[in-house]
Amino acid sequence: MTGPPSPVPPSSAELFVHRSHVRAPASEVFRWHARPGALERLTPPWERIRVLARTGGIENGARVTLRMGTGPMAMQWTAEHRDYVEGAQFRDVQIHGPFAYWQHTHRMTPNGAAESFLEDRIEYILPFGALGSLGGGALTRRRLTRTFAYRHRVTVQDIAAHARIGGRHMKILVTGSSGLIGSALVPFLTSGGHDVVRLVRDAPPARAGTVAWDPDHGTIDAAGLEGLDAVVHLAGENIAAGRWTPARKARIYSSRVDGTRVLVDALTKLARPPKVLVAASAIGYFGHRNRDVVDEDSASGGGFLADVVREWEAATASAAQAGIRVVNLRFGVVLSAAGGALATMLPPFRLGLGGPIGGGEQYVSWIAIDDAIGAVLHALGTADLSGPVNAVAPNPVTNRELAATLGRVLSRPAVVPLPAFAVKLLFGEMGEELLLSSTRVEPERLKQSHYEFRFPELEGALRHVLGR
């Protein structure tokens, strides 16, 4: 299918250009953009954008319709791809959307055999003529600058991350694919050339690219698991969704421990089991440790989460005994504007009502979402890595430092404290373990295995995920 040629931009069109150097051939940069998941990877986490419909990829005539924003102010944007040149460029033209005119050219130009330049060239006209340009011209340019700085940074870093594992393409099963980490991981893997199968709770027949299971009843479509190279197991009840009533604690335990046992039992019985299982775990394993520094060799702590994590990791033991390489990724606080702890903090901090929690001296071991998914890929591709691996940045901060840094990034004061008694009153045991406990974790095994952190410092991580 071919679309009509792109129109010649009107002389009144504004021009925006963003250009970056990429340490990869132009052909690989083009392939990355052409694979499933690239659009999702290029969508900033602070934007509320959802794909409503898509026909084709980036070839001539392919279309995508997006829903932008939420509530009554949301709008739809339909773009059609044109002027496709294999390995060199493609262009999308607005068919319906917020601009009076929009034409976006993606161009990849060789810079020698192994490097290239990525250029995004946008020609646009705002609605409402001169009034629209006067009222929204500067704002639009700032938004484009913010967005394309993010897009190019992700493109360059993603391509480099996939190159570091040697260009090996795998068929990977992912559980928990709709969660905070999973929803970022799947497009990261597919845009890197991997085939992803999702383990979902859908009733048979499952959707294409999915395998059905019901961990609550211990059932799984084992036949759909044959032929896998790797499994990434992220499924589990959200531990921060509300107070820890006895019923919620039972669901948290069962979703992790019992669900893992169901999956591992099925994997060990396959005719050809996968070579590697990367299973989510958590730094809750260490419990409250004050200012002590802990690493993978440190003993487990006390508390509900520590008890759950010990058994969660133990549930993968039979996979290791069956010859599957098992990596238990102990995630810290994952930073993303799309969800999790940071998204919960943003509304009060944007109003200038944020500040330290409790005494503010408790340590927070964090990791940017792009390093969380990068650590998963690193674990998949590093053959001598196994056992517990702390998925945290190398520079934990106190809660007071976290609040001050977030306030600085948002250009807001961050001095309104949330006292410890209020945390206990509002959240009970959950608040004590998640908000008031101190865990200062070192990612020793990631560093020993030469993982390259994209965002080792908190301020850089926050500026990336918030586009500030």
DSSP result, 134-189: HHHHHHHHHHHHHHHHHHHHHHHHHHHHHHHTTT---EEEEESTTSHHHHHHHHHH
In which element (H, E) is residue 248 found? helix 246-253
Q: CA 163 → CA 157, 171, 420, distances in Å? A: 10, 17, 46
Q: How does strand 89-96 pair with strand 101-110?
A: antiparallel
How confident is the model at residue 362, as a pLDDT? 94
DSSP-assigned letter for residue 435? I
Both tokens assigned to 212: 């059905």
Beta-carbon contacts of residue 246 (< 8 Å; ≥ 6 apart)? none
Q: Helix, strand, or coil here: 451? A: coil
Q: Which runs of E-coded beta strand occur in 193-310?
A: 195-200, 210-214, 219-220, 230-233, 276-282, 293-294
Average pLDDT of the segment spanning 179-197 = 96
Pick the most confident of 116-130, 204-218, 228-242. 228-242
Beta-carbon contacts of residue 331 (< 8 Å; ≥ 6 apart)? 181, 280, 281, 282, 283, 367, 372, 391, 392
The confidence band for 411, taking pLDDT boundaries of 50, 70 and 90, is very high
Give yes or no for a contact between 124 and 136, defined as CB atoms under 8 angstroms apart. no
Average pLDDT of the segment spanning 318-323 = 96
Whether pTM > 0.85 for this model: the answer is yes
Largest Cα–Cα distance in the chain?
A: 70
CA distance 230 to 309: 22
The confidence band for 456, taking pLDDT boundaries of 50, 70 and 90, is very high
Instruction: Using the predicted structure, report yes or no on whether residue 126 has a pLDDT greater than 90.
Output: no
Average pLDDT of the segment spanning 157-170 = 90
Integer-rounded Cα radius of gyration of the chain: 23
Average pLDDT of the segment spanning 8-15 = 78
Average pLDDT of the segment spanning 340-368 = 94
CA distance 357 to 419: 6
User: Which position has the token pair 């918030």?
Assistant: 466
How confident is the model at residue 150, as a pLDDT? 96
Write phi, then psi, for 329 (nearest 5 degrees): -80, 110
With CA atoms as reference, report the closest residue to 459 among 409, 415, 416, 422. Answer: 409
| Number of residues written out for the chain | 468
Instruction: Using the predicted structure, report yes or no on whether residue 70 has a pLDDT greater than 80.
Output: no
With CA atoms as reference, report the closest residue to 298 among 290, 286, 310. Answer: 286
CA distance 110 to 24: 9
Instruction: Using the predicted structure, report yes or no on whether residue 6 has a pLDDT greater than 90.
Output: no
CA distance 372 to 161: 12
The confidence band for 425, taking pLDDT boundaries of 50, 70 and 90, is confident
Q: How far does the chain reach from its first CA to its final CA, in angstroms? A: 40
User: Which position has the token pair 């504004």?
Assistant: 14
Both tokens assigned to 90: 């493609």
Write phi, then psi, for 388 (nearest 5 degrees): -70, 135
Query: Candidates 3.30.530.20, 3.10.290.10, 3.40.640.10, 3.10.310.30; correct CATH number of 14-164?
Result: 3.30.530.20
Q: How many alpha carbons fall within 13 Å on the CB side of residue 165?
A: 24
How confident is the model at residue 1, as a pLDDT? 45
Both tokens assigned to 33: 């953009």
Instruction: Using the predicted structure, report yes or no on whether residue 381 has a pLDDT greater than 80.
Output: yes
Q: Please state the separation of Cα 200 from the chain's center in Å.
A: 19
Q: Helix, strand, or coil here: 26? A: helix
The class level of CATH for 171-466 reads: alpha beta
The confidence band for 325, taking pLDDT boundaries of 50, 70 and 90, is very high
Write phi, then psi, for 228 (nearest 5 degrees): -80, 145
How confident is the model at residue 136, as a pLDDT? 67
Instruction: Using the predicted structure, report yes or no on whether residue 380 has a pLDDT greater than 80.
Output: yes
Instruction: Using the predicted structure, report yes or no on whether residue 2 has a pLDDT greater than 60.
Output: no
CA distance 366 to 35: 30
CA distance 40 to 70: 18
Taken in order 188, 84, 44, 75, the sign of the CA dihedral is negative
In the chain, where the domains are located = 14-164, 171-466
Cβ count near 399 (within 10 Å) = 21
Average pLDDT of the segment spanning 47-76 = 87
The confidence band for 47, taking pLDDT boundaries of 50, 70 and 90, is confident
The confidence band for 3, taking pLDDT boundaries of 50, 70 and 90, is low
Instruction: Using the predicted structure, report yes or no on whether residue 205 has a pLDDT greater than 70.
Output: no
Instruction: Using the predicted structure, report yes or no on whether residue 82 has a pLDDT greater than 80.
Output: yes
Segments in 269-412 forming alpha helices (H): 304-314, 317-321, 340-350, 369-381, 399-410
How confident is the model at residue 134, as a pLDDT? 61
Write phi, then psi, for 158 (nearest 5 degrees): -65, -45
